[in-house]
Amino acid sequence: MNENDPDKSLLPSRRELLKTAPAVLAGIAAQSAAAARQGPQGSGNSGRPNILVIFSDQFRWDCIGATGLNPMGLTPNLDAMAARGTLFSSAICAQPVCAPARASILTGQYPSRHGVWKNAIALSPGATTLATTLRQAGYTANHIGKWHLGGTAGTDAEVLGPMPPEYRGGFLDLWQSSNVLERTSHPYEGDLFDNDGKPIHFSGIYRTDFMTELAQRFLRSAKSPFLLTVSYLEVHHQNDIDAFVPPKEYAGRYPNPWIPPDLHPLPGSWPSQLGDYFASVAKMDETVGALRKTLAEAGLDRNTIVMFISDHGCHFKTRNTEYKRSPHESSIHVPLVIEGPGFNRGLTIPEIVSHVDLAPSLLSAAGLAVPSSMQGHSFLPLLDRKTEGWRNEAYFEMSEFVTGRGIRTPQFTYAAAAPKGADWKAVPRADRYVEYTMYDNYADPAQQVNLAGRATHAKQAQQFRSRLAERIFEAGNVRATIDPCLFPYS
């Protein structure tokens, strides 16, 4: 007999197996139920998944190849992540500008509730955030990269130096960050600041690569469970030169790029910037691949939820005089891809989700209760295609370029703005708005035809005015009136 073969005399008979099968199966079921309660293995005593959030800045949602909209093949790593995990094809930001959007992602609240209604306003030290909630449950909360949630009270000055611990949103473990990274660094040199406020200088290495190395160093020795956010400036333009700056090896890679339909008919900065923007997107995708590889090498990939998100999109000065702060898809529609425990479904979710839903969903995925302060809702039921009761629309706010509010439904984008006068200035809210944009996204996905004021759509506009007033009150406890378009036409 082969020494590797079992001695058949020691094996139970078929009759014995049948007798013991119910007890064995019951034991297996009990073990499975216990494992389900405890969560995946390899995540420390809590059994809860680790969470890695990868922030990109100003990343257009339609750049991801898995959406089927961009033919350039810029994102093989994000496409692989979507194929393994879950792609949310209709994710809408809470406000299309850096600081308010980031505060909404972390707090699960709209800007009118968390108070960061524009850039240069600090997130309240007492805010309940994803980080504070996870730390209470035994997680470490770690942040690398751009913060952009620090401001000086009573001024429009943004903090350029170290960020005091009470203004770190609960990220009280590893801290390697700069509040306004675009102003303390350039693509190949600059500074972050550590836990003690000491500068972490880099030079001669591309900013994204430097930050990725910091993240990889953390992951290779991380103790579970942890929250790590890696917040890149890319693919945002470098402010002081108003240009997108990909790494040197990517420069000139896309000299004749495909042009998205929403840009093609409109004047803007895209003719000179689109190629470098796409090169920056390709580099960001490479970065995602590097972090996913490190997770696998460290044995963390099976028990780490990885989320890729952006704060807003980019319209290349086609809709106003800068890059975002408008109600258009190019501004408010953001990429969202999640993989890991519970999300590895090979699934695309078409329902509309919002920035404010991210923190509640991650907390639910970790088996934790969602704080009552959070206005968003967990979208985990959508993964099981339980869509009943899901409000399939997103409410969003706008500031600085206009003081505005809007709603995005599957078919329509509707927005209203406070009228501008000679003494107009940016304010957090208004008590009167006037409708100024309405697009039918089914008939006009590139949003070239504004339907606001058209007699053919007067009924829809009236319904949206009523609905938007309800959402404004719900988000910020403010009563506001919304007037019809000032210049109706038939």
Alpha-carbon separation of residue 489 from 328, 412, 414, 450 (angstroms): 22, 19, 17, 12
The secondary element (H helix, E strand) that includes residue 433 is strand 432-440
**325 contacts 398 by C-beta, under 8 angstroms:** yes
Distance CA 398, CA 417 (A): 8
Q: What pLDDT sits at residue 155?
A: 64
Instruction: Give residue 454's identity as a one-letter amino acid code.
Output: R
**148 contacts 183 by C-beta, under 8 angstroms:** no
Q: What pLDDT sits at residue 46?
A: 52
Select from 455, 474, 313 the least CA-distant residue to 393. 474
Instruction: Give residue 64's identity as a one-letter amino acid code.
Output: I
Distance CA 333, CA 352 (A): 10
Distance CA 27, CA 103 (A): 46
Q: What pLDDT sits at residue 37?
A: 31
Query: For residue 227, what are the β-bridge partners?
Result: 51, 141
pTM of the model: 0.89
DSSP of 179-243: TTHHHHEETTEEEEE-TTS-EEEEESS-HHHHHHHHHHHHHHT--SSEEEEEE--TTS-BGGGTB
Distance CA 57, CA 476 (A): 26
CA angle 293, 299, 303 (to 5 degrees): 100
**306 contacts 87 by C-beta, under 8 angstroms:** no
| Alpha-carbon dihedral sign for residues 166, 170, 175, 178 | negative
Q: What pLDDT sits at residue 24?
A: 36
- Along the 490 residues of the chain, how does pLDDT read in single tens digits? 343 333 333 334 434 433 444 443 334 333 333 333 333 333 343 589 999 999 999 999 999 999 999 999 999 999 999 999 999 999 999 999 999 999 999 999 999 999 999 999 999 999 999 999 999 999 999 999 999 998 766 666 788 889 999 999 999 999 999 999 999 999 999 999 999 999 999 999 999 999 999 999 999 999 999 999 999 999 999 999 999 999 999 999 999 999 999 999 999 999 999 999 999 999 999 999 999 999 999 999 999 999 999 999 999 999 999 999 999 999 999 999 999 999 999 999 999 999 999 999 999 999 999 999 999 999 999 999 999 999 999 999 999 999 999 999 999 999 999 999 888 898 999 999 999 999 999 999 999 999 999 999 999 999 999 999 999 999 999 999 999 998 877 4
DSSP character at residue 249: G
DSSP of 137-181: TT-EEEEEEE----B-TTSSPBP-SPPPGGGSTT--S-EEEETTH
**207 contacts 233 by C-beta, under 8 angstroms:** yes
Q: What pLDDT sits at residue 304?
A: 98
Query: Which domains occur in the chain, in start order?
Result: 50-383 (3.40.720.10), 402-483 (3.30.1120.10)
